[in-house]
């Protein structure tokens, strides 16, 4: 009811602003990285496996896609990410040395549970879930687990569950890297320090809300939007587009920016806002040339940059500056403004933010 909402208009907004707390709670009892964060048998299992298969649906699948970038880069273990509803019905080549990872807020999504059982039926017994509900079927069915402490999520569009899943997946990356001997103690300590800084960093990003509301006023009259990211920010662009679709009913698509010229550039006109995730990283110069291609066709860019990106406000180029550099944790921080953008755009359009039409919080039937 209204009392629980406090100063917020919707549960979604409340849940977005709970993220410093949710992430802090998820990290609370963690003094050091050890495989036991995932269960007693984790050391043996992590030692045995030589690849990872991530299974999930919806927003949780984008957490999985982000984790692929982290695990392959830091732990050097090959990762496949599959949409649960596809994996369960297709012929695939099982490998008993696979760590099967399901990701689920509810732990009750029918397709994800069925995909897990399918993997097991193919002889893959090493199962782990990143889940927000300790008492769920998913946690019962998996040998290993990590419980995110987002707390109850009421808004149908997932927010704090997603960012805490990413925290759990980053911890998994570090634990795998440790067991495989692919990370130094110094580097591990440095990543742990970066994780501990997340609640403060998220709070600083939440303070950008007024600037994002100004963008939302412009987005509300659009019927299409494009989201661009590269590398580990591509899954975040996908999540940004999904959020906008889900709650504002604006058609949105995400592309890895290098694919622009292979199709979506044909859609770019002055009516197409293009949201771009552009932190200073190895791919920034390539991204900037992708942005020029958009500008040359009259597309309006809405860019999340940082101090060193050297991208400034100009005609057709709207820039919000992120407060810091976030290194490998950058996808977590860039999620926040995209949540706020879809939330405020939906508010301006007057949609039912917490219960968008045709969607359910937890899809427990096929």
Identify whether 160 is a catalytic site residue: no
Q: Does 106 bind ligand G6P (CB under 6 A)?
A: yes
What one-character DSSP code corresponds to residue 71?
I
In angstroms, give the least distance from the CB of 354 to ligand G6P: 11
- 126's tokens: 């090493």
Q: Select from 60, 126, 164, 276 the one that contacts ligand G6P (CB under 6 A).
A: 60
Q: Does 335 bind ligand G6P (CB under 6 A)?
A: no
Q: Distance between the two ends of the chain, CA-based, in angstroms? A: 31
Of residues 46 and 62, the one with the C-beta less far from ligand G6P: 62
Q: Does 109 bind ligand G6P (CB under 6 A)?
A: yes
Q: For ligand G6P, which stretch binds (CB under 6 A), given 104-112, 207-215, 290-298, 301-309?
A: 104-112
Q: Does 66 bind ligand G6P (CB under 6 A)?
A: no
Q: Does 152 bind ligand G6P (CB under 6 A)?
A: no
Q: Select from 112, 126, 290, 342 the one that contacts ligand G6P (CB under 6 A).
A: 112
Backbone angles phi, psi at 273, to 5 degrees: -75, 140
Of residues 122 and 154, the one with the C-beta less far from ligand G6P: 154
Q: Does 359 bind ligand G6P (CB under 6 A)?
A: yes
Q: Does 58 bind ligand G6P (CB under 6 A)?
A: yes
Q: Select from 203, 224, 351, 362 the one that contacts ligand G6P (CB under 6 A).
A: 362
| Catalytic member of 143, 280, 355, 361 | 361
Quick one: CA dihedral 196, 307, 345, 251, positive or negative? negative
CB distance 255 to 241 below 8 Å: no
Q: Does 104 bind ligand G6P (CB under 6 A)?
A: yes
CB distance 137 to 107 below 8 Å: yes
Of residues 98 and 148, the one with the C-beta less far from ligand G6P: 148
Kindly tell me the burial class for residue 360, based on how many C-beta atoms sit within 10 Å of its own C-beta (0-12, 13-18, 19 or more).
exposed
Strands 251-256 and 273-278: unpaired
In angstroms, give the least distance from the CB of 103 to ligand G6P: 7
In angstroms, give the least distance from the CB of 152 to ligand G6P: 12
- CA–CA separation, 10 and 29 (whole Å): 30
Q: Does 136 bind ligand G6P (CB under 6 A)?
A: no
Cβ-count burial 101-138 (b if 16+ within 10 Å, e if not): bbbbbbbbbbbbbbbbebbbeeebebbbbbbbbeebbb
Q: For ligand G6P, which stretch binds (CB under 6 A), given 13-21, 69-77, 150-158, 230-238?
A: 150-158
Of residues 312 and 359, the one with the C-beta less far from ligand G6P: 359
Q: Select from 66, 105, 129, 276 the one that contacts ligand G6P (CB under 6 A).
A: 105
Q: List Cβ neighbours of 14 (8 Å cut-off, separation of 6 or more).
A: 5, 6, 8
Q: List Cβ neighbours of 247 (8 Å cut-off, separation of 6 or more).
A: 12, 157, 342, 343, 346, 351, 353, 356
- Taking each helix axis from N to C end, the angle separating 58-70 and 160-179, rounded to the nearest 10 degrees, works out to 30
Of residues 98 and 164, the one with the C-beta less far from ligand G6P: 164
Nearest residue to ligand G6P by CB is: 58
- CA–CA separation, 101 and 61 (whole Å): 11
Q: Does 129 bind ligand G6P (CB under 6 A)?
A: no
Q: Does 150 bind ligand G6P (CB under 6 A)?
A: no
Cβ-based neighbour number of residue 323 at 10 Å: 15
Strands 79-83 and 224-229: unpaired
Catalytic residues: 361
Task: List residues near ligand G6P by CB under 6 A.
Answer: 57-60, 104-106, 109, 112, 156-158, 359, 361-363
């Amino acid at each position: 009811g209204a009392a629980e909402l406090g100063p917020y208009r919707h549960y979604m907004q409340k849940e977005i602003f709970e993220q410093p707390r949710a992430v802090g709670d998820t990290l609370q009892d963690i003094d050091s990285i050890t495989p036991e964060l995932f269960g007693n048998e984790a050391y043996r299992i992590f030692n045995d496996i030589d690849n990872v298969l991530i299974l999930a649906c919806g927003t949780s699948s984008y957490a999985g896609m982000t984790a692929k970038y982290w695990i392959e880069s830091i732990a050097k273990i090959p990762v496949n990410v599959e949409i649960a509803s596809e994996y369960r019905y297709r012929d695939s080549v099982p490998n008993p040395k696979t760590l099967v990872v399901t990701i689920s807020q509810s732990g009750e999504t029918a397709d994800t549970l069925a995909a897990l059982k399918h993997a097991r039926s193919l002889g893959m017994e090493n199962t782990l879930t990143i889940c927000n509900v300790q008492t769920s079927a998913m946690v019962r069915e998996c040998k290993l687990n990590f419980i995110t402490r987002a707390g109850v999520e009421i808004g149908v569009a997932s927010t704090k569950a997603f960012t805490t899943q990413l925290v759990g997946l980053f911890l998994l990356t570090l634990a795998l890297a440790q067991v495989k001997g692919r990370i130094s103690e110094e580097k591990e300590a440095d990543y742990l320090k970066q994780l501990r800084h997340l609640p403060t960093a998220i709070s600083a990003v939440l303070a950008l809300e007024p600037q994002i509301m100004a963008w939302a006023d412009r987005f509300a009259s659009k019927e299409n939007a494009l989201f661009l990211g590269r590398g580990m920010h591509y899954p975040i662009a996908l999540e940004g587009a999904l959020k906008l679709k889900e709650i504002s009913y604006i058609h949105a698509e995400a592309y890895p920016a290098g694919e622009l010229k292979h199709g979506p550039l044909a859609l770019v006109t002055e009516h197409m806002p293009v949201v771009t995730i552009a932190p200073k990283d190895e791919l920034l110069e390539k991204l900037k040339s992708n942005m020029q291609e958009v500008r040359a066709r009259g597309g309006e860019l809405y860019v999340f940059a940082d101090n060193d990106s050297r991208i400034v406000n100009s005609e057709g180029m709207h820039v919000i500056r992120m407060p810091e550099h976030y290194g490998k944790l950058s996808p977590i921080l860039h999620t926040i403004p995209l949540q706020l953008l879809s939330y405020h755009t939906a508010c301006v359009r007057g949609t039912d933010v917490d219960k968008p039409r045709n969607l359910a919080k937890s899809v427990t039937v096929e």
